């Protein structure tokens, strides 16, 4: 459920009254980037990592920061207070700004547009976490830089809808070599029968999920064996467990891929343990 007060280009406004210019390049070309940051007990989880990723996305697209990083953090705090947000998400979008429609970058200085909204209760149901979810696969059809958190999400939107129509929670993209890259809005993980936990390595083929990074760190600190490398659909189908991670789905067990049951068909011990570790991390305020 989205919440009342947003921050739009320098002003706090009621979200239902908030407006963007029709010439905004985010609206015209999807020329912008975004972040989704979890709020737990009114605290922002892994804030620095999100802002570092934002900084990288902006730099890759040559979009300037619309304001100083510490000012952005102050605005987040204000929005959390004004919306009385305890648990939910902050959504932030920065576009290249407003200019006459023309594909190339504006040649005069344009101020990047900034929109921040908050939402409450953005998480999947307890039932899904208890029972696990189904995943389907489709051929990778995104651009070659999904490591940039761009707002150009049409292939991801279509992939999520594909999952929905197949009564599934997520679609995993299959690269040309039949390895899984990631989900439409989540990172993909499997657990091999001998306990090795595998998720694809960072690079240009996946978005470097903040939850993924935190999970790698939490799992290794707990003595679990994590390898960052590609895995194939075949590996996934014969895995002991599978799961997905993201800011909004946390650690979600996967019990079926393309109609084939994974492991016991129930959420596995590794996914459950990681979810617990992550929840404990969030309860502590998410700061290390
Ligand atoms: C394509 C994609 N991969 C992975 C993720 C997970 O990233 P994070 O853990 O930072 O939410 C997302 C989240 O939006 C995503 O869109």
Q: Quick one: pLDDT at residue 121?
A: 73
Q: Is the confidence at residue 1, as pLDDT, over 90?
A: no
Residue 31 CA to residue 92 CA, distance in Å, equals 14
The alpha carbon of 186 and the centre of ligand 1 are apart by a number of angstroms equal to 5
Q: How far is CA 241 from the centre of its chain?
A: 21
CA neighbor of 238 nearest in space, from 269, 198, 192, 169: 192
Residue 7 and residue 115 in contact, taking contact as beta carbons nearer than 8 Å: yes
C-alpha 202/C-alpha 212 separation (Å) is 10
Q: Tell me which H or E stretch contains 71.
A: helix 69-82
What is the domain class of 5-120 according to CATH? alpha beta
Distance 268 CA to ligand 1 centre (A): 22
pLDDT above 50: residue 88: yes
- pLDDT tens digit sequence for 73-86: 999 999 999 999 99
Name the pLDDT band for 122 (thresholds 50, 70, 90): confident
Residue 153 CA, closest ligand 1 atom number: 16
At residue 43, does pLDDT exceed 80? Answer: yes
* pLDDT greater at residue 271 or residue 2: 271
Residue 264 pLDDT: 96
pTM higher than 0.75 for the full model? yes
CA of 203 to the centre of ligand 1 (A): 14
Check residue 283 and give its pLDDT: 85
Confirm whether 5-120 and 126-283 share one CATH topology: no
Statement: residue 44 has pLDDT above 90: yes
209 CA to centre of ligand 1 in angstroms: 5
Query: What average pLDDT does range 47-73 have in this prediction?
Result: 97
Residue nearest atom 4 in ligand 1 by C-alpha distance:
186
Which of 35, 173, 186, 214 has most ligand 1 atoms within 8 Å of CB, for mutation?
Answer: 186
Q: Where are the domains of the chain?
A: 5-120, 126-283
Query: Which ligand 1 atom sits nearest the alpha carbon of residue 156?
Result: 1
How does residue 3 score in pLDDT terms, banded at 50, 70 and 90?
Answer: low
Nearest atom (ligand 1) to Cα of 212: 9
The pLDDT of residue 2 is: 58
Residue-wise pLDDT tens digits, 205-247: 999 999 999 999 999 999 999 999 999 999 999 999 999 999 9
- Token pair listed for 182: 């990631």
Distance between Cα 157 and ligand 1 center (Å): 13
Question: Does the structure show a pLDDT above 50 at 288?
Answer: no
Atom 7 of ligand 1 has which residue's CA nearest to it?
A: 209
Q: Is 149 an active-site residue?
A: yes
- Considering the segment(s) 126-283 as one domain, its CATH architecture is Alpha-Beta Barrel (3.20)
DSSP 235-272: HHHT-SEEEEEETTTEEEEEEEETTEEPTTSS--HHHH
The whole-angstrom distance between residue 283's C-alpha and the CA centroid of its chain comes to: 20
Read off the tokens for 253. 């067990």
* Average pLDDT of the residues in 14-31: 96
Ligand 1 mutation pick, 201, 209, 215, max ligand atoms within 8 A of CB: 209
Ligand 1 pocket, CB under 6 A: 36, 146, 156, 182, 185-187, 207, 209-212, 245-247
Which residue's CA is the nearest one to ligand 1's atom 1? 185
């Amino acid at each position: 459920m989205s919440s009342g007060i947003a921050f739009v280009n320098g002003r706090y406004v009621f979200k239902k009254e908030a407006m963007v210019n029709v010439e905004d390049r985010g609206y015209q070309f999807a020329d912008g980037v975004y972040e989704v940051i979890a709020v737990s007990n009114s605290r922002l989880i892994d804030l620095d990592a999100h802002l570092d990723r934002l900084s990288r996305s902006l730099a890759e697209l040559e979009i300037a920061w619309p304001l100083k990083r510490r000012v952005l953090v102050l605005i987040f705090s204000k929005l959390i207070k004004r919306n009385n947000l305890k648990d939910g998400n902050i959504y932030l979008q920065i576009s290249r700004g407003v200019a006459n429609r023309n594909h190339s970058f504006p040649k005069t200085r344009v101020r990047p547009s900034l929109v921040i909204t908050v939402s409450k209760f953005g998480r999947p149901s307890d039932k899904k976490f208890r029972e696990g979810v189904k995943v389907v696969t489709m051929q990778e059809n995104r651009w070659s830089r999904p490591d940039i958190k761009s707002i150009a999400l049409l292939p991801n939107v279509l992939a999520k809808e594909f999952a929905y129509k197949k009564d599934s929670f997520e679609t995993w993209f299959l690269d040309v070599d039949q390895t899984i890259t990631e989900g439409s809005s989540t990172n993909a993980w499997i657990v091999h029968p001998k306990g090795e936990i595998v998720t694809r390595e960072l690079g240009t083929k996946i978005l470097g999920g903040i939850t993924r990074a935190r999970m790698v760190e939490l799992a290794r600190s707990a003595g679990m064996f994590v390898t960052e490398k590609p895995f194939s659909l075949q590996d996934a189908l014969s895995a002991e467990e599978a799961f997905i991670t993201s800011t909004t789905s946390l650690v979600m067990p996967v019990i079926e891929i393309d109609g084939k049951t994974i492991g016991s068909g129930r959420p596995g011990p590794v996914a459950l343990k990681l979810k617990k570790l992550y929840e404990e991390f969030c309860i502590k305020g998410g700061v290390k």
